[in-house]
Amino acid sequence: MDRITEAIGRAVGAAGDGAELARAKVNLALHVTGRRTDGYHLIESLVVFAEHADVVGVAQSGSRRMGLSVKGPFADALAEVTEPQDNLVIRAADDLAREMASHRPRPAKLVLTKRIPVAAGLGGGSADAAATLRLLGREWHFRGKDAGLAEIGLRLGADVPMCLASTPLIARGIGERIEPVAGVPPVPIVLARPPVVVRTPAVFARLGGGERPPLPRLPQRFGSILDLVFWLRQTRNDLEEPAGEVEKAARAAVSLLRADPDCMFARMSGSGAAAFGIFVSLAAAERAAERLAAARPTWWVTATMTGGSPAAADAGTR
């Protein structure tokens, strides 16, 4: 069993009954290294997953079809951009049911509690699909196990397999080639998202051509959060500048986090508009989140932790 399959297995095994967390995806570094002949951009990204999460729950249904209800602070925002039948939660459930057609899994009533902002660069939709696959794979006793879940996830989107694992990893290719990494500590962060939507195609359209250097070599282990910050300062998010050109507020989120006196490092996540700031402790992150929320009351701001590599699970600061 390869390392990513093992990581998916750990994520499935760590889950509780009847509900599954869909953790926000944070791109700590995102290098766009080139472009394929079909137009897709090639990336290398160090990805971690936050404790702040959507929640996917399940209840047995008497209906012959899958059902989905959405609640939570971003339920209305999701309804504005996605029809229920197109939601990745339903698509993931339907794909898994087709894979298990011979076992006739019972249709489920799914409940999505939407706590991750929509179209924020935090991978909420992919995380929701991954959580659905983990949850129903367990509820329906899916025999394809973890590698089979990854194959189904990849058909839904390049980010879904990494969200299935929900562990620190390097993503390559168009995001589908993933490798869990050891030695990444849990990190206290603030996530901030202005009330704007940055469309990913518009960001990539402003990205200049040519090849760019890949990520620098990862150390075997980061001894501390400060070591991780020193490494991140050698890296980039190549989408940060074009996203700021598309929407100035995306640039403002990074600038305000960097200006906080306790912030060690700040950057945009993914293609924006959400940004993250790294802090020495969760208490420091919570104080910074309060300051930023007071200064920008219309923004979504939260303090949380990112999960560390399995071997680094005890290295975080609370």
Strands 67-71 and 108-113: parallel
Q: Other C-beta atoms within 10 Å of 223: how many?
A: 11
Is 248 designated active site?
no
What is the DSSP secondary-structure string of 183-226? -PPPEEEEEEE-S----HHHHHHTS--S----PPPPPS--SSHH
Counting Cβ atoms within 10 Å, is residue 54 exposed (0-12), middle (13-18) or buried (19+)?
buried
Are 186 and 312 in contact by the 8 Å Cβ rule? The answer is yes
CB 242 within 8 A of CB 203: yes
Cβ(153)–Cβ(271) under 8 Å? no
Whether 262 sits among the annotated catalytic residues: the reply is: no
**Which stretches of 58-117 are DSSP H helices?**
75-81, 88-99
Catalytic residue among 25, 95, 128, 260: 25
Q: Given 54, 128, 146, 159, which residue is catalytic?
A: 159
> What positions carry a catalytic annotation?
25, 159
